[in-house]
Amino acid sequence: MTGKNIQLDKNGNLKHFLSIEGLSQPLLHTILNYAESFATVDKRPVKKVPLLRGKTIANLFFEPSTRTRTTFELAAKRLSADILNLNISTSATSKGEILSDTLRTLEAMHCDMFVVRHANSGAAHYIASQVAPHISVINAGDGRHEHPTQAMLDMFTIKQHKKDFTKLSVAIVGDILHSRVARSEIHALNVLGTNEVRIIGPHTLIPKEIEKLGVHIYHDMNSGLKDVDVVVMLRLQRERMRGALLPSEDEYFKRYGLTNQKLKHAKKDAIVMHPGPINRGVEIDSDVADGKHSVILQQVSHGIAIRMAIMAMVMGQINRDENKEKKK
């Protein structure tokens, strides 16, 4: 990212959360550390903290997502915010109203934050550049570009199990070409100083020149998984594919589906992750998805803590509370 980073305010604090690219290692560690404290909220009798009381957050999902939208909604409620879920498919935008008019309408309702999921890359950045100065924008996935909160919840999950990123070898497997999660994770892993980031997949699902992002490319599953600490499996995104990129799902599973036999090439204490939803028998075998190496359900739980941390940070609540403590 070149030029001014609109994600940061004049003091270098988060104003929007749009992309991992352009963020510093200390800032990513700050997000992870705050998520650690928010992870204990679930264990309280009352699962709420008052940090965003009186704030209104609008979920603007221009494409469907159950897991991401639900965890953002839970995160907002646990921060004591009011939440507005806008069903775009039945809203005014599907009746001809342009996006800027929708934004002005929501601003008039005194919303404080927009959580945006959109099929077009760059949509969240565009919205962040158009909203009123008091509004923060969080990218919940835009086209093939990025899915930064998913990457951060995955980094949090890795940290819970492996602690030191600088000693890790991480393999991201599958449909790299269409995956915004893969791009965000590659950026996050490299910013956090991960020893080695590998991507594994067929030639047709590996983007051109992706090695410039600092990854090693493998087309053979067994060699790609050799001695890795973390395996991240990706969903085959058939809805984004054009043309015959794969011979068949059965053939794909034979070569790139994760089975216990293939997992033996990784380290004995390797963890297996998946951003979901899972296509069992296509990219991962049920025995692996439900097995002892899997931390997939933990990823879902960690998504709430990470999104609480990011929401509180972009609204400035954490920074304000810290400054108050320093002045005492």
The catalytic site residues sit at 67-68, 95, 117, 147
**Looking up tokens 């979920």, which residue turns up?**
59
Contact assessment for residue 171 and residue 230, using Cβ atoms and an 8 Å cutoff: yes
Spatial separation of the C-alpha atoms in residues 210 and 129, rounded to whole Å: 28
Cα(60)–Cα(117) distance, rounded to whole angstroms?
Answer: 6
Q: For residue 80, which phi and psi values (nearest 5 degrees)?
A: 70, 20
Measured distance CA(320)–CA(21) in Å, rounded: 25
Quote the strand ranges of the chain, DSSP E: 56-61, 82-87, 113-118, 136-142, 169-173, 196-200, 216-218, 230-233, 271-273
Backbone angles phi, psi at 128, to 5 degrees: -60, -30
